[in-house]
Chain A
Amino acid sequence: KQEVTQIPAALSVPEGENLVLNCSFTDSAIYNLQWFRQDPGKGLTSLLLIQSSQREQTSGRLNASLDKSSGRSTLYIAASQPGDSATYLCTGGAGSYQLTFGKGTKLSVIP
Chain B
Amino acid sequence: DGGITQSPKYLFRKEGQNVTLSCEQNLNHDAMYWYRQDPGQGLRLIYYSQIVNDFQKGDIAEGYSVSREKKESFPLTVTSAQKNPTAFYLCASSVEPGHYGYTFGSGTRLTVV
Contact surface of A with B, Cβ cutoff 8 Å: 4, 30-32, 34, 36, 41-46, 49, 51, 89, 91, 93-104
Contact = CB atoms under 8 A, between A and B. Distances in A.
A49 B105 contact: no
Contact of B105 (A4, A43, A97, A103): A43
B40 interface: yes
B103 interface: yes
28 contacts: A30-B98, A34-B101, A34-B102, A41-B88, A42-B106, A43-B90, A43-B105, A43-B106, A44-B90, A44-B92, A46-B101, A46-B104, A49-B100, A89-B42, A93-B99, A93-B102, A96-B98, A97-B50, A97-B97, A98-B58, A98-B59, A99-B33, A99-B97, A99-B102, A101-B42, A102-B42, A103-B40, A104-B42
Nearest to B49: A97
Contact of B41 (A34, A36, A94, A103): A103
Contacts, number: 71
B106 to A, nearest CB: 4
Contacts of B104: 36, 43-46
A44 B94 CA distance: 14
